[in-house]
Structure 1
């Protein structure tokens, strides 16, 4: 079955920018992540497909190779370990040498496992106070049958290509290039009897359940490194790391900016005019604040130390309440009559003293029209 185009998988144009590419991948990863779709048997496959496509297109060198050669760039002699692993330029040279000498396969078995990234969504409260989370991640683990060695009997023999040196020399006229042995991947040893379950790779695909402690104060974009929890290395080599990237969901009340929290404080115009004592929500419970008389929309009240404690400096931010004076709706007859009586009291010579902003606005309009008509 032919592989789908990577641009098609990520639903982007071939001219896509790095930022747009990352945004599209995040959307698909969140949509098809196995944790979010436990009942969808195809979700994990779509997640892996999107991950594979992003790993190629997010790397300028691999993307250039893919644009020129398509999937063939990562198959056979062009791309090394296939779309799941992707070799560097040394890998490509190694494949070329392997083709020249008539050798193939078996290289790179002793390489460190690949690093993985997991996007974890948190509620604001979880990010502010910290939390311990369990999550599942599909990865490659060390083969239990051969203990990661890739050998059925646990034995290795000296590589016949490099005679155990791990490197070979390629001569072309006056040029001489030394390269890791393409047959043993620089290990100097090869496996005669590959392990059947892992086919000599020393690794198997498995979904693992891991636990991570999220420290208090993290924010979107912060990463937590789990050493050795990435993909297992080939032939018992060192495992890669797993990076948990935090994404904090939007909150119904609070917006976070750095270590400060912001929220709107809706009040009636009677409370704004006369002043009042109000209860304000915080992440740790309600607190009382005193709204002074003649409070206007846009005024702010700062509650010190009611924000977020920084995960780095340890400094705690503030909670800033932004006043919004609400116009009353669905008035009863009595309320409307009282409002009309109140409004009538403003219609006299010194009415401007009660509405300073309106007076300033009217004066500004007059100055504007006088400049336009002059």
Structure 2
């Protein structure tokens, strides 16, 4: 019976990304895992099929060879590796280093476990000051029944396909090329008596609880790497890493730009005209901000070193306060009368002196209409 196309087995297109391949494999493996389908021969065969497909397509060099030659690429490789033909063994050693990077022959041993990504949401205060949080992540962990070996009795046999080398060779024209052994996954050893808990995989699905320390000053998109906290490697190979990516929630007062903070500070008309000393918030508590007389709406005041202390340079940024004019509401009759008296004083040429921006605007409007009517 001929083998099914590997892309068809995983249900992905031939242009699928590494991430799409990984997700498809996990769906397939979880659906047909022997733990969930005890005694079901069809599911067991499907599980092995999707595992074999992913082992080939997740390896860049194997995938290139499969795309070019299909299943025949690996049938030839296994034949050449098992036979160990003396006619080209020496030539393979000569050309191995030269073409190792191109055809993936340089790597030996099984692949390490997959890296895991985790997104951690933080408040601005937590990101600025640093925080320690406990997280729980679903992962593949080392099987405690067999200590990750995959063997129930701890015994491993030399792989008959690669003779313990972890690599197989095959001939392409005058060149001898090599790749990781598809039978033992590059370990050079096979398991005769698989562990009943992990079924020879050396890994089991689990939820891992970790305490993660976030340093002060992190920002959106920053990643923290926890070495060896990713998925356990297959059958005892090294684990992957865990990458914690920071996402900072929007703040009700401050907006962050790099190490600087920005905020809007509402002031009254009288404060802007006469000047005032007002209290403004910072991440370290309130400070006094002096508003000089005749301050215009939109004016930005800079408070040095009141921003975020950089996680890299350890230098603090600044806080920029933009004043916005707030129109008074719910006026009493006395307040309304006082404002009307003030407005009555802005008449004639004297009004231009008190409102330079308004006068400039009106001059521009007059010039615009003059050009429109003369054209």
> Does residue 336 of the first structure (1) align with residue 332 of the second (2)?
no
Q: Which has the larger radius of gyration?
A: 2
Q: Distance in 1 between matches of 2:369 and 2:12?
A: 60
- TM-score relative to the length of structure 2: 0.75
Q: Does the C-alpha gap of structure 1 residues 209 and 51 become closer, same or farther in structure 2, counting only changes over 3 Å?
A: farther
Matched, 1:286 2:286: yes
> What RMSD in Å do the two structures reach over aligned CA positions?
3.3
Deviation at 1:207, TM superposition (A): 0.7
Could you tell me which residue of structure 2 aligns to residue 33 of structure 1? none
Residues 10 and 50, structure 2, Cα contact 8 Å, conserved in 1: no
In structure 2, the residue matched to 1:162 is 162
- 1:109–1:233 Cα contact (<8 Å) kept: no
Partner of 2:50: 75
Q: 1:52 aligns with which of 23, 26, 40?
A: 23
User: For the residues of structure 2 that align with 1:315 and 1:297, how far apart are their CA atoms?
Assistant: 31
Matched residue SS, 1:75: helix
- The CA distance in 1 between the partners of 2:229 and 2:200, in whole Å, is 21
| Map of 2:185 onto structure 1 | 185
For structure 1, the residue ranges without an aligned partner over 5 or more in a row are 8-17, 23-48, 57-70, 103-107
1:363 aligns with 2:335: no
Deviation at 1:240, TM superposition (A): 0.5
Give the Å deviation of 1:170.
Answer: 2.5
Tell me the CA shift for residue 342 of structure 1. 1.1
Instruction: Indicate if the aligned counterparts of 1:158 and 1:189 stay in contact, CA closer than 8 A.
Output: yes
Cα 1:5–1:163 shift into 2, 3 Å: closer
> Cα gap change, 1:349/1:273 in structure 2, threshold over 3 Å: closer, same or farther?
same
Aligned partner of 1:113 in structure 2 is 113
2:61 to 85, 89, 105: 89
**Does the 8 A contact of 1:298 with 1:322 survive in 2?**
yes
Once the 2 structures are TM-superposed, how far is the Cα of residue 51 of structure 1 from its aligned partner? 8.5
Counterparts of 1:188 and 1:214 in 2: how far apart (Å)? 41
SS in 1 for 2:281: strand
- 3-state SS of the aligned residue for 1:80? helix
| 1:257 aligned onto 2:228 | no
**How far does the alpha carbon of each residue in 1:276-316 deviate from its partner, in whole angstroms, 9 at most, with x for none?**
11000111111111111111101111111100011111111
Structure 1 residue 185: deviation in Å?
1.9
Kept after mapping to 2: 8 A contact 1:80/1:92: no
Structure 2 matches for 1:1-374, cutoff 5 A? Answer: 52=23, 75=50, 78-80=53-55, 86-90=58-62, 93=65, 96=71, 110-171=110-171, 176-374=176-374
Residues 362, 292 of structure 1: CA spacing in aligned structure 2 closer, same or farther, 3 A cutoff? Answer: same
Deviations for 1:132-168, whole angstroms, at most 9, x for unmatched residues? 1111111111000000011111111111112222222
Alignment check: 8 A CA contact 1:280 1:289 kept: yes
Aligned-partner SS, 1:359: helix
Runs of 4 or more off by more than 6 Å in structure 1? 2-7, 53-56
**8 A Cα contact 1:80 1:91, kept in partner:** no
Is residue 10–residue 21 contact of structure 2 (8 Å, CA) maintained in 1? no
Contact 1:79–1:91, Cα closer than 8 Å, also in 2: no
1:269: Cα distance to partner? 0.4
Residue of structure 2 equivalent to 1:25: none
Distance apart, 1:172 and its partner CA: 5.9
- Relative to 1, partners in 2 of residues 1:76 and 1:249: Cα closer, same or farther, differing over 3 Å? closer
Deviations 1:75-112 (CA, angstroms, capped at 9, x unpaired): 36543379xxx44332675893555669xxxxx99320
Instruction: Give TM-score scaled by structure 1 length.
Output: 0.75
C-alpha distance 76-213 of structure 1, shift in aligned 2 (>3 A): closer
Secondary structure, counterpart of 1:349 in structure 2:
helix
